[in-house]
Structure 1
Amino acid sequence: MSPIATIAVSGMKAASQRLEVSASNVANAMSTGALPNADGTLPAGAPKAYDPLTLVQSDVAGGGTQATIAKASQGTSASYQPSAPFANKDGLVAAPNVDLAQEMISQLVAKYSFAANARVLKASDEMSRTVIDMKV
């Protein structure tokens, strides 16, 4: 595979991962859980809130990109839901910090990034075919 194609494929993989991360965050945006105790542990039998994910993208030496999925730094915050069975005495639960507007932007970035890298891959293929045709 040509270096151009390798770079484009790495971009397409990163775009796919970006979309997966965003879809997971949107799907679990309402997945609340118990607030941790002062020592960081959860009450016995209480569910844990969804920890939002983030995509960390970095350059690869020689070209391309590498994407790593990590937990978001500000994963949850206290939310008032007194009817939740695992709410604390103040009616608070842990809710994921998911910004749906930001997730929509992330999904659009993934869409356009994937499409742009697919066009690069197609152009690389066409150039290779032209070179092969010239040699024949």
Structure 2
Amino acid sequence: MSSISTIALSGMNAAARRLEVSASNVANVMSTGALPNADGTVPAGAPRAYAPLELLQTASAGGGTQTTVTTTTPSTTAVSDPQAPFANQNGLVAAPNVDLSQEVVGQIIASYSFAANATVMKADDRMTKALLNITA
């Protein structure tokens, strides 16, 4: 595989990973839990809220890109849900710090990025085939 294809493949992998992270965040947006105490612990037996993920994409030394998945900071926000069995005395629970509009934008970007990198791979394949036909 040529370096062009290798770089494009790394971009496709990054786009796929971005979509996975976003899909996980969207699927768990309603996964609330108990508000953490001042020391960050959750009361015994109470569920923890989903901790949203964030994708960090950096350039690789030889070209291409690599990704790292981390937890979003702050990972939760306090929302009112007095009916929840784990709500605090004020009726608040911890909800994942997920902005659905940003997740949709991220999914669209991932889709376009994947398609663009796939187009680069196709162009590289056509160029290689044309070069082999010339030299044959």
Q: If the TM-score is normalised by the length of the shorter chain, which range does it land in?
A: over 0.9
Quote how far apart the aligned CAs of 1:58 are.
0.1
Match of 1:134 in 2: 134
Match of 1:115 in 2: 115
Match of 2:22 in 1: 22
The aligned runs of 1:1-136 (5 Å cut-off) are 1-136=1-136
SS of the aligned residue for 1:58 comes to strand
Distance of 2:131 and 2:39 partners within structure 1: 65
Q: Which residue type is aligned with residue 45 of structure 2?
A: G
Q: Which residue type is aligned with residue 46 of structure 1?
A: A
Quote how far apart the aligned CAs of 1:40 are.
1.4
SS of the aligned residue for 1:70 comes to strand
| TM-score of the two chains, using structure 1 as the length reference | 0.98
Q: Which residue type is aligned with residue 85 of structure 1?
A: P
Distance of 2:40 and 2:106 partners within structure 1: 31
Unpaired segments ≥5 residues, structure 2: none
Unpaired segments ≥5 residues, structure 1: none
Quote how far apart the aligned CAs of 1:9 are.
0.1
| TM-score of the two chains, using structure 2 as the length reference | 0.98
Distance of 2:24 and 2:10 partners within structure 1: 21
Q: CA RMSD in A?
A: 0.6
Distance of 2:11 and 2:127 partners within structure 1: 19
Count of residues paired in the alignment: 136
Quote how far apart the aligned CAs of 1:37 are.
1.3
SS of the aligned residue for 2:8 comes to helix
Distance of 1:94 and 1:61 partners within structure 2: 40
Distance of 2:37 and 2:102 partners within structure 1: 30
What percent identity do the matched residue pairs reach?
63
1:1-39: CA deviation from partner (whole Å, max 9, x where unpaired): 101000000000000000000000000011000001122
